[in-house]
Amino acid sequence: MLINCVAYQEGKKLADIPIADISDYLERPDCFVWVALKDAEPVELLEMQGEFDLHELAVEDAHHGHQRPKIEEYGNSLFAVVHTVELIDDELHVGEVDIFVGVNYVLSVRNGSQQSLTGVRTRCEREPQQLEKGPAFVLYALIDAVVDRYFPVIEALESELETIEDQIFSKGAQRANIERLYQLKRKVMTLKHATAPLMDAVGRLYGGRVPPICLHTQEYFRDVYDHLSRINTSIDAVRETIGTAIQVNLSMVSIEENEVNKRLAAWAAIFAVTTAFVGIWGMNFEAMPELKWKYGYPLALGIVTVVCGALYYRFRRLGWL
């Protein structure tokens, strides 16, 4: 679906144009066309390929989707894949933005994402001195907008981790904590898969051998790289904390199991003593004087009760009962 198709010249908006007029504006000096598509159909991608002379491999990647975040160079053009990450109903949803950038055009294709990028166009149009830098600045603005939306996600994950940590020492909550920690770990890995490859890709757009399109916008991409570096540092810190929390939680489970085992061992010892006394007095030998004694039975019960009481008192002091 076509969102908009706009022509710009020297950083200023010329007009919203139909797709059929794109080729006419591409021939103008200092003019570029910015087209935005959402969940594009194969026919639309083929049409854009014809208008902008896009590389067939890049179009194929955009058509199939589910690409790893990357930035590839095809002659005088760039093809970027950026993942959008949205937290909806406590679940992470990953979308994709494919960006084609040439000397005089920008084509952005948003797939499987509810995050609108219309604000990026508004921002660029408010800064004509920046938009005058051409398609490379638009590429920066699009990537920067997606990257900035990672920060609320990582903050939400950190808050969720803090909530789980507060419950780690709650009795009986270990199983639920383990499940929540593993779910959180999966979310963190999803965000990591979106940011780490993109950081490597953006790092190639400043310093060293830079694509010609990005020669005058290197400092902007360095800023994006710094943001991605901060996000990845936070992700690594959360992952490490999750690992520690899982180990602590498993330790708490072991401690609770040991407590149960000590209780069972204490009661087993008490009943073992009772069984020993009863076993001795239950042998029914004729020569046992206690069998014929009038107070033998009360005495036997008294001895068993006293010994069991002494053991119970001892185990209570040791904290086993």
Give DSSP secondary structure letters for 240-272: HHHHHHHHHHHHHHHHHHHHHHHHHHHHHHHHH
d(CA 103, CA 241): 45
CA dist., res. 205 & res. 217, Å (int): 9
User: What three-state secondary structure class fits 184?
Assistant: helix
pLDDT band at 219 (very low <50, low <70, confident <90, very high): very high
Question: What pLDDT does residue 116 have?
Answer: 82
122, two tokens = 């508004």
Query: What's the length of the chain?
Result: 321
CATH 3.30.460.20 residue ranges of the chain are 1-148
What's residue 286's pLDDT? 65
User: Measured in Å, how far apart are the chain's first and last C-alpha atoms?
Assistant: 70
> Between the CA of residue 8 and those of 14, 28, 299, what are the distances in Å?
5, 10, 106
Contact 47, 19 (CB under 8 A): yes
Residues 6+ apart with CB under 8 A from 46: 59
The phi-psi region of residue 39 (left if phi > 0; otherwise alpha if psi is between -120 and 50; otherwise beta) is left
- Continuous H helices in 16-149: 22-26, 42-52, 56-64, 118-126, 128-131, 135-148
- pLDDT, mean of residues 101-128: 88
Q: How confident is the model at residue 289 (pLDDT cuts 50, 70, 90)?
A: low
Element (H, E) at 182: helix 174-202
CATH fold of 254-318: Methane Monooxygenase Hydroxylase; Chain G, domain 1 (1.20.58)
Examine the pLDDT at 109 and tell me if it is beyond 80. Answer: yes
Q: How confident is the model at residue 149 (pLDDT cuts 50, 70, 90)?
A: very high
Q: How far apart are CA 127 and CA 105, in angstroms?
A: 18
Please give the model's pTM, rounded to 2 decimal places: 0.79
Please, where in the chain does CATH 1.20.58.340 lie?
Answer: 254-318
Instruction: Over range 18-31, report the average pLDDT.
Output: 87
Average pLDDT over residues 198-225: 88
pLDDT tens, 40-94? 888 989 999 888 889 999 999 888 878 899 999 998 899 999 999 988 888 889 9
Q: Is 91 exposed, middle or buried (0-12, 13-18, 19+ CB in 10 A)?
A: exposed
pLDDT at 152 over 70: yes
For domain 1-148, the question of CATH label 3.30.460.20 is answered with yes
